[in-house]
Amino acid sequence: MNQFKRAMVVVAHPDDAEFGCSGTVARWSASGVEVTYVLCTDGSKGSNEPKMTSGRLALIRKHEQQAAAEVLGVKNVVFLDHPDSYLIPNLELRRDIAREIRRHRPQKVICQNPIRTLSTGRGSGHPDHIAAGEATLAAVFPTARDRLTFPELLEEGLEPHAVEEVFIFGTDMPDWWIDVSGSIDKVVEAIKQHKSQVGDRLEDLDQRMRASRHSVGKQHGMEFGEAFKRLTYN
């Protein structure tokens, strides 16, 4: 992979990046890449505690996400604050993501799978994940690139920007694998920051994070790996 300076990860919820691509994030950050997180929702629905409120949970999850990002070396964390569980890939969301792409000007973007996957026989995906993936791809191309789309962004001083590559995680059609053997401990440490979500499952998650990435990596000569669908925009 060519040397690059800036990357962006766009996901629906706090903890999505830690589960899906944190080894890659940690590897990129350690190599000097400036990584920006963009969280589409406020994470305000991810609790079954009877006494929890959406407002309180949103604050908790923001703090947890900031802590996880610090573990991974992420430089910037942006919260778009769309309501959790109601995310749709509409023009507002596309514009909000395009704004951050133009502001931070990443060469690489990581996002979630915009397609509902049925082949695994397991749960077929959170609708917010699918919406975030679709909106991100639309923001990358053509929205962030095209000068006349959302002219209000120009009024904000945000010039068009062309992303070079997108890496989609959570897909059953991967064609690109990244060796995260050197950052697997950071993967585990980062997911542990999301205490409101992982509860007392820390030991189980430690094993799960290692096992899933080992399963991916061993097929490609790596101890631990993460898999993506790679799209190029040249």
Say how many C-beta atoms besides its own lie within 10 A of residue 219's C-beta. Answer: 11
Residue 192 has pLDDT above 70, yes or no: yes
Rounded to whole angstroms, how far apart are CA atoms 131 and 25? 22
Q: Supply the Cα-derived Rg of the chain in whole angstroms.
A: 17
CA neighbor of 35 nearest in space, from 64, 63, 11: 11
| Cα–Cα–Cα angle for 38, 82, 167, rounded to 5 degrees | 35
Counting the structural domains of the chain, the total is 1
Q: Which domain holds residue 108?
A: 6-232
Say how many C-beta atoms besides its own lie within 10 A of residue 164's C-beta. Answer: 15
- What single-letter DSSP state applies at residue 234? -
CATH number at residue 26: 3.40.50.10320
Is residue 69 domain-resident?
yes
Q: What percent of the chain has pLDDT over 90?
A: 88
Burial class (CB in 10 A: 0-12, 13-18, 19+), 190: buried
- The whole model's pTM is what? 0.96
Rounded to whole angstroms, how far apart are CA atoms 232 and 77? 25
Residue 183 has pLDDT above 60, yes or no: yes
CB contact at 8 A, 181 and 217 = yes
By residue count, the chain amounts to 234
- Which structure tokens are listed for 33? 């890449």
Average pLDDT of the chain is: 95
Average pLDDT over residues 165-170: 97
Residue 3 has what pLDDT? 86
Average pLDDT over residues 20-30: 98
Residue 20 has what pLDDT? 96
Helix (H, G, I), strand (E, B) or coil at 204: helix
Residue 7 φ/ψ, nearest 5 degrees: -140, 160
CA distances 132 to 115, 124, 127, 177, 225, Å, are 11, 15, 9, 22, 23
Rounded to whole angstroms, how far apart are CA atoms 117 and 194? 25
More confident residue, 63 or 117: 63
Is residue 1 domain-resident?
no
- Which structure tokens are listed for 170? 């959570």
Is residue 142 domain-resident?
yes
Q: What percent of the chain has pLDDT over 70?
A: 97
Residue 4 has pLDDT above 70, yes or no: yes
Rounded to whole angstroms, how far apart are CA atoms 45 and 191? 18
Name the least confident of 7-21, 80-94, 187-201. Answer: 187-201
Residues 6+ apart with CB under 8 A from 215: none
CA neighbor of 73 nearest in space, from 111, 142, 25: 25
Residue 215 has pLDDT above 90, yes or no: yes
Structure confidence by residue, pLDDT tens digits, 28-70: 999 999 999 999 999 999 899 899 999 999 999 999 999 999 9
pLDDT band (50, 70, 90) for residue 163: very high
